[in-house]
């Protein structure tokens, strides 16, 4: 490979449309989409990618119907019940990114237990972004810098980045969005400054390990310039 690829992020979109196409309730799409996280994580780990950062629930997704939100919030526990042992065998490190306070305990606790159990692994870092918003992340970083008494002359790009919740995936090399939408929807804002963007019409539950590899191959052909030439 010519381009170094370390950090990949995915906006896992299209669960609702996947279900609708099949005449199923939206929740069925979320269940299938959640199962797919296992496949793509294993594929990314096998490719030697350092971090995989997945947008699972945004700060705006609370606006959805309560029953849908409740269903989504139960999925992390189920996902970890089904796949945590296998992910541990694959040396995956699990991390939760997002404002934790608003997450129900039945969502937060199993992920925090998985964080503790996988902290010493040395495989891919799987960042699960739940109740995450890029703008919120920036505001929280600024608040914390002020609380820490950081002085104006001490503020640099590196220091600021270190205050971000999603510091461990900075910078994102490749951002993938499924489902045909071509927007960022308040996902990682700072971290995607020079990301390559990859959009596919595939709906997230249909997005396979092969599709993921195709995105990586496509990334490999890009000429990254970072403002130089
Ligand atoms: C992505 O799928 C999952 C979440 C945002 C939680 P959607 O639920 O947004 O699916 P579409 O966009 O309605 O198809
Ligand atoms: C982005 O998808 C959030 C996640 C995939 C978790 P949305 O479906 O919420 O985004 P919009 O509403 O199409 O911008
Ligand atoms: Mg959507």
151 burial (CB, 10 Å; 0-12 / 13-18 / 19+) is exposed
| Average pLDDT of the segment spanning 112-131 | 98
Question: Atom 12 (ligand 1): residue with closest C-alpha?
Answer: 14
Could you give the percent of the chain with pLDDT greater than 90?
Answer: 98
Q: Which residues contact 187 (CB under 8 A, 6 or more apart)?
A: 9, 11, 55, 58, 129, 132, 134, 175
| Average pLDDT of the segment spanning 183-200 | 98
Of the residues 13, 127, 170, 173, only one is catalytic, namely 13
pLDDT at 229: 82
Cis before 171 (ω within 30): yes
- CA 120 from chain centre, in angstroms, equals 20
Secondary structure of residue 56 in the 3-state scheme? strand
pLDDT at 6: 98
Measure the CA–CA gap between 126 and 44, rounded to whole angstroms: 10
Q: Please confirm, yes or no, whether 61 is among the known catalytic residues.
A: yes
Mutate which of 27, 132, 179, 181 to test ligand 1's pocket (most atoms within 8 Å of Cβ)?
179
pLDDT at 1: 52
Measure the CA–CA gap between 137 and 55, rounded to whole angstroms: 14
Question: Atom 13 (ligand 1): residue with closest C-alpha?
Answer: 16
Ligand 1 close to Cβ of residue 14 (< 6 A): yes
pLDDT at 50: 98
Please give the helix or strand (H or E) that residue 41 lies within, else none.
helix 26-46
Pairs from 219-227 (Cβ < 8 Å, separation ≥ 24): 219/3, 219/5, 219/173, 219/174, 220/1, 220/2, 220/3, 220/5, 222/3, 222/196, 224/3, 224/194, 224/196, 226/194
| Average pLDDT of the segment spanning 203-227 | 98
pLDDT at 2: 67
Distance 107 CA to ligand 2 centre (A): 19
Lowest mean pLDDT among 1-15, 19-33, 51-65, 188-202: 1-15
Distances (CA, A) of 16 to 72, 167, 193: 12, 30, 29
Distance 185 CA to ligand 2 centre (A): 6
| Average pLDDT of the segment spanning 206-222 | 98
1-16 pLDDT, tens digit per residue, is: 568 999 999 999 999 9
Distances (CA, A) of 58 to 17, 90, 142, 187: 18, 28, 20, 8
Question: Atom 6 (ligand 1): residue with closest C-alpha?
Answer: 57
Distance 83 CA to ligand 3 centre (A): 24
122-164 pLDDT, tens digit per residue, is: 999 999 999 999 999 999 999 999 999 999 999 999 999 999 9
* Closest-lying ligand 2 atom to the alpha carbon of residue 56: 6
Beta bridge partners of 128: 54, 96
Could you give the percent of the chain with pLDDT greater than 70?
Answer: 99
pLDDT for 91 beyond 90: yes
| Average pLDDT of the segment spanning 75-91 | 98
Against a cut of 0.85, is the pTM above it? yes
Measure the CA–CA gap between 61 and 209, rounded to whole angstroms: 26
Ligand 2 close to Cβ of residue 57 (< 6 A): yes
**Domains by residue range for the chain, with CATH:** 7-133+171-220 (3.40.1180.10)
């Amino acid at each position: 490979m010519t381009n170094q690829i370390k950090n990949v992020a995915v906006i896992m979109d299209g669960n609702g449309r996947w279900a609708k196409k099949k005449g199923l309730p939206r929740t069925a799409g979320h269940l299938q989409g959640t199962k797919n996280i296992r496949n793509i994580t294993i594929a990314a780990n096998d490719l030697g990618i350092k971090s995989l950062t997945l947008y699972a629930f945004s700060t705006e997704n609370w606006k959805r119907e309560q029953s849908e939100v409740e269903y989504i919030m139960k999925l992390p526990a189920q996902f970890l019940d089904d796949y945590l042992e296998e992910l541990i065998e694959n040396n995956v490190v699990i991390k939760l990114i997002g404002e934790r306070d608003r997450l129900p305990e039945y969502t937060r606790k199993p992920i925090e237990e998985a964080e503790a159990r996988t902290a010493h692994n040395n495989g891919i870092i799987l960042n699960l972004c739940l109740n995450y918003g890029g703008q919120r992340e920036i505001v929280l970083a600024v608040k914390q810098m002020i609380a820490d008494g950081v002085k104006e002359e001490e503020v640099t790009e590196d220091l600021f980045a270190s205050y971000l919740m999603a510091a461990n995936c900075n910078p994102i090399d490749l951002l993938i969005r499924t489902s045909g939408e071509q927007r960022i929807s308040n996902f990682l804002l700072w971290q995607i400054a020079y990301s390559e963007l990859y959009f596919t019409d595939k709906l997230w539950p249909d997005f396979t390990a092969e599709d993921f590899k195709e995105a990586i191959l496509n990334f490999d052909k890009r000429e990254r310039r970072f403002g130089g030439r």
